[in-house]
Amino acid sequence: MRYGIISDIHGNLEALQAVLQACRKQSVDGILCAGDIVGYGANPSECLAVLKEVEAICVAGNHDWAVAAKLNAIYFPSDGKEAINWTRGKLSFEDIMLLSDLNLSCRNDDLVFVHSSPNQPEVFAYLADDQKAKMAFDAMEQSICFIGHTHVPQVYTKRGKSIINTNTFEFEVNPDYEYIINVGSVGQPRDGNPMASYCIYDSDAQMIELKRIQYDIQSAQRKIIEAGLPEFLSQRLSLGR
């Protein structure tokens, strides 16, 4: 099975289409989405429709649940709150129900995927250091977990008791190790690289690749401005911050 694993689309249709096209070229069998389909970008409803069309299996991000009023947005930054209110106004009742019905995590024999961390996924804490990674590994039953949320691609590898944190972009899975792979963000990367981020996992070959692809950033930026969303949400796309 070849999985295309994506996260943090944030209503950026141009980035989503570029990533899905790349996944098709790489003959993926299915798309897994680790949440934050909406929020920040100008095409939340269109992104939901595209994911439905490709039969992506999705879990809930904090923005998805905040739009569906399942999560209080009180701790969101002000532009995040503004985007949530704007997004809610753009979605149909069916779209909101779809977001509301998303589960926090999804698993099969090969892997688990979740937005923030397999440890207390309902808290939506950022898994951004080895201590948080250790707690996440302790909560895992599978040996491979895919996450998003920080918008920064990263690989945490557990070898015995030690945890190694790298940004290796292509590797073979070692059956003696455990892995937490942050697949980065499709629609709002924050690692200084504005290209859309995604991951390919081939469970037969046991290969994992973190990949980047160019997309039409200017169109996504223009739509954000035209929608009357905060200007910073447009500017940051070309900065990758």
* Site residues for Zn ion per CB under 5 A: 8, 36
User: Between residues 61 and 118, which has the closer beta carbon with respect to Zn ion?
Assistant: 61
C-beta of 149: minimal distance to Zn ion in Å? 6
Instruction: Give the helix ranges, DSSP H, for 43-129.
Output: 44-53, 62-67, 78-90, 93-100
User: Between residues 8 and 191, which has the closer beta carbon with respect to Zn ion?
Assistant: 8
C-beta of 36: minimal distance to Zn ion in Å? 4
3-state secondary structure of 202: strand
Q: In terms of C-beta density within 10 A (0-12 exposed, 13-18 middle, 19 or more buried), how is residue 214 classed?
A: exposed
**8/184 Cα distance (integer angstroms):** 7
C-beta of 57: minimal distance to Zn ion in Å? 18
User: Between residues 8 and 95, which has the closer beta carbon with respect to Zn ion?
Assistant: 8
Amino acid at 3: Y
User: Between residues 163 and 240, which has the closer beta carbon with respect to Zn ion?
Assistant: 240
**161/56 Cα distance (integer angstroms):** 35
C-beta of 100: minimal distance to Zn ion in Å? 18
Question: Would you say the C-alpha torsion 221, 45, 145, 24 has a positive or negative sign?
Answer: negative
* CA neighbours closer than 13 Å in the CB half-sphere of residue 122: 3
**41/236 Cα distance (integer angstroms):** 11
> Tokens in use for 157?
């590898």
User: Between residues 8 and 14, which has the closer beta carbon with respect to Zn ion?
Assistant: 8
3-state secondary structure of 11: coil
C-beta of 10: minimal distance to Zn ion in Å? 6
CA distances to 11, 18, 122 from 125, in Å? 22, 29, 8
DSSP state of 207: E
C-beta of 156: minimal distance to Zn ion in Å? 18
User: Between residues 100 and 203, which has the closer beta carbon with respect to Zn ion?
Assistant: 100
C-beta of 61: minimal distance to Zn ion in Å? 6
Which residue sits closest to Zn ion, CB atoms considered? Answer: 36
User: Between residues 66 and 173, which has the closer beta carbon with respect to Zn ion?
Assistant: 66
